[in-house]
Amino acid sequence: MSPSPPTPSVGGPVFLITHEFYPVRGGIATFAEEIAKASAGLGYDVEVWAPSAPPQAEKKWPFRLRRLPLKGTHDLWCQLRLALQLVRTRRQLRHAIVYLPEPGPMLTMMLLQFFHAFRPRRLVLTFHGSEILKFTRSPLRRWLAGRLIGHASRVSTLTNYTQELLLASFPEATDKIFLTPGALRTDFVVVPPKPARPRGKIVVLTVGRLHPRKGQLLTLRALQALAPDIRARLEYWIVGSQSKGRYGEILRAAAAESDLNVKFLGNLPDEELTEIYNRADIFAMTSVNLEHSIEGFGLVYLEAAAHGLPVVAHDVGGVSEAVADGVTGLLVPPNRPAQLAAAFERLIHDESLRHRLGNAGREWAGRNCWAQSAEALFGADAPEVES
């Protein structure tokens, strides 16, 4: 049951300030977009601040959107430009809820927090995982982040895993922390059953930016380790944009050396992505935790589950809170390539298991609600939202 709309006077207007927002893709951008839409739907007066975007990329929103003249990086120049915008709007922000759902604007607010004139009526923060490790790398940044958390009225995480990680480094959050679990994108809330299609090759699909943490190369190697007759029955489709570094080149080179049929589909719009999900048989994102980058949750696992796909993933970070092992997918310990290959082989051979996990995933994907998370962030009370 959805929460009742709040009275307009509760908390004042909400300014959601983010460096990651549409048309940028990814979990944090999706989270910011969905929280803003849910908050507006509950009756809150919402204004989103986001980096500039091409005019042709804009679409209609149920809230005000203010595009800022910045690129949305974490460098000092970008922080200063955002600080200037905050200073210019300080009188308005002083009587509002300022919500920072990701680390970019948090870095700016760390600098402004020492000036009382820039402190909003209520400051709300959400942590996803990797930023916690980055903030603790530097004693100075650790101190600044701790003070910012101390000034916040509420602090949320998407998973219990991230919550424990945050509390271990920042006990300042103890009395104000709660869960705002990730939910299914509203574009995918109603997904019709997969259309029947002629039997052909079994398609393994990965959706995620081409980055070492997303594990596409590990999936490719696990599939390549299968017997030749099994490999002949497979296609591996990779959806995602190129990230910094040479990982994409390394991945393409490995695919070229393989006898697997590997397709790089690039970064697809949502309407095309839905068709790709419908044509796939197994979803794989074998994320790994790198030194200062972790998989805090993974909204894409819910998208795949909503489309009836069984999931193969590594049991790292908060992934086990997005994929129910043995119920909606198969979780494998990281750095166990033989076990990973065995998980794929099991699903390839057992069509009934694929259907059972996929069918369970449809219900699993809809168990959380964006409106509940929005109400927990901005409402008069701050109840914990169960995952």
DSSP 53-80: --GGG----SSEEEEESS---SSHHHHH
State percent of the chain over pLDDT 90.
Answer: 78
Q: Scanning the structure block, which residue is given the tokens 């200063």? A: 80
Question: Residues 155-190: pLDDT tens digits?
Answer: 999 999 999 999 999 999 999 999 999 999 888 766
Length in residues, the chain: 387
Residue 382 has pLDDT above 70, yes or no: no
Q: What is the mean pLDDT of residues 224-253?
A: 93
Mean of per-residue pLDDT scores for the chain: 91
Least confident of 55-69, 130-144, 190-204, 358-372: 190-204
Confidence of residue 197 (pLDDT cuts 50, 70, 90): low
Of 199 and 287, the one with more pLDDT: 287
Least confident of 4-8, 50-54, 127-131, 230-234: 4-8
CB of 280 closer than 8 Å to CB of 263: no
Quote the crossing angle between the two packed helices 337-349 and 351-365, to the nearest 10°.
Answer: 100
Residue 10 has pLDDT above 60, yes or no: no
Residue 352 has pLDDT above 90, yes or no: yes
State percent of the chain over pLDDT 70.
Answer: 93
- φ and ψ at 98, to 5 degrees? -105, 120
pLDDT of residue 115: 86
| Residue 52: count of CB within 10 angstroms of its CB | 11
The most distant pair of C-alpha atoms in the chain lies apart, rounded to whole Å, by 68
* CA terminus-to-terminus distance, the chain: 15
Percent of residues in the chain assigned helix, strand, coil, to nearest 5 = 45, 15, 40
Least confident of 5-14, 156-165, 313-322: 5-14
pLDDT of residue 196: 66
How far is residue 273 from each of residues 35, 216, 233, 384, measured CA to CA in Å? 22, 18, 23, 33
CB of 146 closer than 8 Å to CB of 110: no
The token duo for 59 is 């679409």
Superfamily classification of domain 187-365: Glycogen Phosphorylase B; (3.40.50.2000)
Q: Which of 371, 368, 351 lies closest to 359, judged by CA? A: 351
Name the 3-class secondary structure at 277. helix
CB of 383 closer than 8 Å to CB of 178: yes
pLDDT of residue 6: 43
pLDDT of residue 11: 56
Q: Where are the domains of the chain?
A: 14-183+368-378, 187-365
Q: What is the mean pLDDT of residues 266-270?
A: 88
CATH assignment of 14-183+368-378?
3.40.50.2000
Q: Do domains 14-183+368-378 and 187-365 have the same CATH topology?
A: yes
The dihedral of CA 225, 230, 235, 236: what is its sign? negative
Q: Rounded CA gap, 120 and 387, in Å?
A: 29
Q: What is the mean pLDDT of residues 347-366?
A: 96
CB of 329 closer than 8 Å to CB of 357: yes
Question: Residues 30-71: pLDDT tens digits?
Answer: 999 999 999 999 999 999 999 999 888 788 999 999 999 988
pLDDT of residue 103: 95
| Residue 142: count of CB within 10 angstroms of its CB | 14
How far is residue 272 from each of residues 139, 239, 302, measured CA to CA in Å? 45, 11, 17
Residue 384 has pLDDT above 50, yes or no: no
Gyration radius of the chain's alpha carbons: 21
